Structure formats: C-alpha cells, structure tokens
Copies of this chain bind each other. A is one copy, B any other.
C-alpha cells in the first residue's frame, strides 16, 4: 500500500525503525477514505484514534455560541490531525475534524498504539516529539495573533502555508486568521496595489 509507505517514510524522518517494526505499523494503521466535506470527528465523540493524512486536506474547527466557525488547524499529506485534548484525556471532542478535499487517512486506535509503544519503544519518542511541535506551533500562533495585525498574520500565513492556501477556499483562511472573509478580501486588494 502506497499510503503506508508515506507513513513509514514520515516516521523514519524522526526515528529509526526496522522491517519488523514496519510490518507491525502497517498492520495496525487502518486506511480510511473520506469524501470532500465528510466529517471525521464530531464534537461529543471521543477521539480514539491518531490520524495521519496520507492524501487530501483537513481542517479542525469549532462553532462558537453564535454558530460562527473558527478554524484551529489545517492539515495536508504527512500531517497529523486530531482533537488532541479529547484523545489524550478521553473526554468528548470539542471540535469538528472535516475533510476539505476527498482524502485518505491512516488511523491507529489508542489501544493499538499502546501495543506499538510496547513493541517499538522508539515510537514513544516519535509521538512525544510530535506533541512538542503541536505545543510549539500553537504557542507561536497565540503570540502571533496577539501582537500582529491581520494583514501581517495573512502574510505570515502565506509564507508558512502557501501550499495549503492554494487548496482551500479563502473564507477558511479568514476563519483561521480570525477575521471576516470580507476583511480578508479587502486586505488582499490592498496588498496587490
């Protein structure tokens, strides 16, 4: 399966694993296909899997009291996407995880991941490192949104996620940046002049 090759390659970028490790990983990560707009995780469900994106594009978002969407995170090939808090604490998810394009993910159940940790201890390290980067990007995002103007945040977004930006509707970029689509439109107009 080509999908699993992607995952293996992704893991090998951080830790060393051997052929029998690979076999186990391939066996325990299950492939799942989603159509555009299909929802992988609903608020209220418990996120019981770790999810690796093998193909496609996802977003996680929540709805506030005014039924307004706020996008927390995007993910494309080789990224992980989840409601991490729900997964870690086994409490109901607060966020939607939705396919923005038709997509394929590789998922491992929490119980199966425990087996992986037992058999391939270096995978603990792998996920700890992933957890750290999740924390860091979140922190950078928080700081960024506190000290920068929307235009600057947009410029940063383009620099950092230009590939994603080309695959998602503009109103989702606005939602990620915390501004209205109309205002993003105005920013873009101003920028080209």
Contacts and interface: CB of A to CB of B under 8 A. Distances in A.
Interface string A60-85: 00101000101010000000000011
Contact of A85 (B89, B135, B142, B178): B135
A49 to B, nearest CB: 17
Interface string A100-133: 0000000000000000000000000000000110
Contacts of A159: none
Is the interface on chain A under 10, 10 to 19, 20 to 34, or 35 or more residues? Answer: 20 to 34
Q: For A131, A135, A145, which residue has the most chain B Cβ atoms within 10 angstroms?
A: A135
A191 interface: no
A65 B178 CA distance: 22
Contacts of A70: 143, 146-147
Contacts of A64: 147
A134 interface: yes
A138 interface: yes
Question: Secondary structure of the A side of the interface?
Answer: helix
A85 B143 CA distance: 13
Contacts of A141: 142
B143 A88 contact: no
Contacts of A15: none
Contacts of A139: 72, 85, 138
A186 interface: no
A14 interface: no
12 contacts: A72-B139, A72-B143, A84-B135, A131-B131, A134-B135, A135-B138, A138-B138, A138-B142, A141-B142, A142-B142, A142-B145, A145-B145
Q: Which 6 A-B pairs have the closest CB atoms?
A: A64-B147, A146-B178, A142-B142, A88-B132, A85-B136, A70-B146
